[in-house]
Amino acid sequence: MAPINKLIPDHLPHVQDMYKEYFLEYASYVITDRAVPYLLDGLKPVQRRILHSLREMEDGRFHKVANAIGQTMKYHPHGDAAIGDALVNLGQKNLLIDTQGNWGDPVTGDSAAAARYIETKLSKFALEVAFNAATTMWQRSYDGRNLEPVLLPMKFPLVLAQGAEGIAVGLSTKIMPHNFREIIECCIKVLKKEKFTLQPDFPTGGLVDVSGYNDGQSGGRLKVRAKIIQVDDRTLSITEVPYGVTTGQLIESIVTANEKGKIKVKKIEDKTAKDVEITIHLPASSDSEKAVDAMYAFTDCEVSIATNCCVILENKPVFLGVSELLELSVQHTVKLLRMELEIQKKDLQEKWHFKSLERIFIEERIYRKIEVAENWEAIIDIVDKGLRPFRKQFIRDVTPEDIKRLVEIPIRRISRYDANKAQEDLIALEKGIAETEKNLKGLTKYAIAYYENLLTKYGKGRERKTKLKRFTAIDASDVILSNLKVYMDSENGFIGTGVKNGELVGEFSSLDEIIAFKEDGTFCVTKVGEKNFAGNKIVYAAKFDRTDDQTIYNLLYRDGRGGATLVKRFQIGGITRDKQYDLTKGSAQSKLHYLAVQPAGGADKVTVHLVPQPRIKTEIPLNFEDYPVRPRGTQGVLVTKHAVKRVERLGKTTDNQPRLV
């Protein structure tokens, strides 16, 4: 059988070549026409088509979003759902379009109402900076029936104000939003050739660390935090969330961290309405400062955002920093302003030219001479000869079109002609031309004034929302709660997470401390570590809380070898870490008989069994509650001078605290 490629006629393309060609076309389309914004107007194609459609519909009133979507479908080939989502996204940015109705909330994640219920129109800002038919390049729409702009003549760095995000074939873009006022101030600095720095600003507020921003280029990274207020020792309030995180996602991350034991939360209340307000109630034993650090370490109260400033320039993707992007945008704005001034100058000159023709045509009574003309050619010739002596006064040559306009002036207008008013109009036009020429010569100064005007008109209420702050790194191991399993080697005296074949003490955090009692009546407090030496023959170890003023220790011990047995009740109080403390009189070979760790108000009853001897009772009942709580250094009260065989606890207690017998 012949190879498969031999079965394909030579005049047909190979599948491999077709695949390569079609894939490249698809990739190019996705990059340039869907996912990545253009640098010069800061828009993706669907956004540009939406704005163009709204401009066509513009009459000063609000329009149903459903109608705007339908209008846009004349230009955008991807259906109403894509257009609707893009339109809502534009509306939520609160810059180019004004909105009416429920447009959802990106902070809470609430979606907008149906398109038939909400309304929109172009903002005054958009009408001023984004549209000018005379400076717009046009192209045919996808079906060839309509004209649409190749780019909008945007005289503002829109992509830096709104931000942008998109995933294409083989590349992506993630441009941060920046502050409206700061963008304009930086544009002015560019024109003045001054140094500038542009940092992100998010509509959700919060805090941001820009130390790794890298001018927004690929590889840059931001750390963004929620604003957390310590209301009191047991209450935290979140009033601003990180960019890109909804209140629902934030609460879910807190609940998850709590379930995993990384943080301790008693209750969460979401009171968010117009403003964010999430109240977090902490357990009584919590440290609110540590809780804040734990929130940043283990929840979405702190997120890291990778930046990648990619835009379309000259129909291909380029990777820039936000500073270079701003400079290119300013250059483009200056170019557009020059074009507008040149068009304005030409319009003023044309008006002055025709006003001058009109003045001579009427004041020199040339219009009366055409009454005797027999045909149109004669009329043209009469008017042309009448204007010939004055041609040096005109800006350009007189054309047949000019003469036609003169001849078509209504007689009523001629009869009401006011020479003084006409002269005033000419002077005003001359001043306008002179002013335009002045602006063209001083284009940089004119552009600065343009930006200053934007700042004055639209900058109110657009102050920075996100506070710039250098974050102190939070070591997760320093704020994590109860996730380290601590073991103890009772015989050899080692305690820690790395003790092998030991007895489990419990789960701790790396901030916790451990109290360890030894058989000889001494104790010490040590920090959780991998393998700490606390002393030989540990009889009891537990988590130690320096702020605890409730726990009472009940103790029976033997004083020295063959000495008397004493009882004492005490609290630990202030201690120095890793220092050995003696609970006995300090005699050599002292030994613990019994230790009970109990909350305030609780006390054990025990029976002290003595070594049998003639003429003595072998059992001594003892109720710890009969003895007052004394300082830790108190030597204790004598129970018996005879040798103790064992101590037996009587009955059951209501708590689960361990006892040593």
The set of catalytic residues is 117
The CA distance from 258 to 504, in Å, is: 23
Q: Is 456 exposed, middle or buried (0-12, 13-18, 19+ CB in 10 A)?
A: exposed
Of the candidates 108, 90, 109, the residue with the CA atom closest to the CA atom of residue 99: 90
The CA distance from 399 to 645, in Å, is: 131
Strand 565-570 and strand 629-630: pairing? parallel
Those residues whose C-beta lies under 8 Å from the C-beta of residue 390, and which sit 6 or more positions away, are 360, 364
Q: In DSSP terms, which residues pair with 64 in a beta bridge?
A: 119
Torsion from C-alpha of 157, 163, 166, 170, nearest 10 degrees: 60
Strand 467-468 and strand 207-209: pairing? parallel
The CA distance from 344 to 584, in Å, is: 100
The CA distance from 329 to 42, in Å, is: 9
H, E, C per residue of 529-583: CCCEECCCCEEEEEEECCCCCCCEEEEEEECCCCCCEEEEEECCCCCCCCCCEEC
Question: Quick check: 54 and 68 in contact, CB under 8 A?
Answer: yes
The CA distance from 194 to 457, in Å, is: 24
DSSP letter assigned to residue 282: P
Q: End-to-end CA distance of the chain: give it in Å, rounded.
A: 92
Query: How far are the Cα atoms of 165, 342, 357, 397 from residue 392, in angstroms, in the given order?
Result: 59, 23, 12, 9
What are the tokens at 257? Answer: 């961290």
Question: Quick check: 45 and 34 in contact, CB under 8 A?
Answer: yes
Residue 87's Cβ-side half-sphere holds a number of Cα atoms within 13 Å equal to 37
Strand ranges inside 469-537, DSSP E: 484-489, 494-496, 503-508, 513-518, 522-527, 532-533
Q: Is 640 exposed, middle or buried (0-12, 13-18, 19+ CB in 10 A)?
A: middle
Question: Quick check: 101 and 118 in contact, CB under 8 A?
Answer: yes
* Exposure string for 83-109, b = 16+ CB within 10 A, e = fewer: bbebbbbbbbeebbbbbebebbebbbe
Of the candidates 423, 425, 385, 380, the residue with the CA atom closest to the CA atom of residue 403: 380
Those residues whose C-beta lies under 8 Å from the C-beta of residue 2, and which sit 6 or more positions away, are none
Residue 577's Cβ-side half-sphere holds a number of Cα atoms within 13 Å equal to 12
Q: In DSSP terms, which residues pair with 63 in a beta bridge?
A: 120
The CA distance from 192 to 184, in Å, is: 12
